[in-house]
Structure 1
Amino acid sequence: MSKPDLVAPGPAEVFAALGDPTRLSLLAKLSDGETRSIAKLSADTKLTRQAVTKHLHVLERAGLVENIRIGRESRFGYKPEPIAEAKSYLDRVSAQWDEALGRLRAFVEG
């Protein structure tokens, strides 16, 4: 059975997924471009494999990681596109605030 087509996550889903220190840590480990198994990602942590799996599924739903099946093993890899889209969103919001502050400054000083 194939997976249904998913709607691409927006900035809110990405920011929500990144709002947890454990998920940030997992993403940092994966950001070197290497895929890793759940066992490898849970090694040297106090997290159970089940906890790591739950966090990875949140990251996967946000589009930040992908599950790659190699035989019977699941390996997870980093997907940088949602981070770039979130950065672009923040850049747009920042520009809007800069413009609003510029208008306020002109009003106050003028």
Structure 2
Amino acid sequence: MVKFQGTQLDRTFSALSDPTRRALLARLEGEDGLSISDLARPFPVSLPAIMKHLDVLSDAGLVTRSKQGRTVSCRLNAEPMEEAMGWLARYQRFWTQRLDALEAMLNAQRQDRDVKDKI
């Protein structure tokens, strides 16, 4: 059985719960290594607000920052996302099995009803 680090998983899902943070991650996926000012440019919020969002993403391990001179660049880190995907996959298998069983039961009932209708 796979064990998941609860606090890390909680931080990941908490960070992903905000649409602005998800949009920041999407930008980094497309253009890795953006400076904070470049990353913040298309958003209608202040730079301090973006910094707070980046703090949450960094605390969750989803973003790493590096400083070169006066420029701070951000990079996407996929590891926490992979752990979250593993956790979700476990429940996807569970629900897929349950829904497949429900479909089989409904098909069996439909076939029984069709047979009775023909009699």
Question: What's the C-alpha RMSD, in Å, of the aligned pairs?
Answer: 2.5
Letter of the structure 2 residue corresponding to residue 62 of structure 1: A
Unaligned runs of 5+ in 2: 109-119
Looking at structure 2, the residues matched to 89 and 8 of structure 1 have their Cα atoms a distance apart, in angstroms, of: 10
**Unpaired runs of 5+ in structure 1?**
1-6
- Give the letter aligned to residue 26 of structure 1: L
Paired residue type of 1:35 = G
CA contact (8 A) 1:23 1:55 kept: yes
> Which stretch of structure 1 is more off in the superposition, 98-107 or 40-49?
98-107
Distance 1:28 1:105, change over 3 A: closer
Alignment correspondent of 1:56: 54
Output the TM-score relative to the length of structure 2.
Answer: 0.71
- How far off its partner does 1:37 sit? 1.4
CA distance in 1 between partners of 2:43 and 2:88 (Å): 32
Please state which structure has a larger fraction of its residues in helix: 2
CA-to-partner distance for each residue in 1:41-79, whole Å, 9 max, x for gaps? 121321111011000010001110001111222111101
Structure 2 vs 1, CA of residues 8 and 71 (structure 1 numbering), >3 Å: closer, same or farther? farther
Percent identity over paired residues: 35
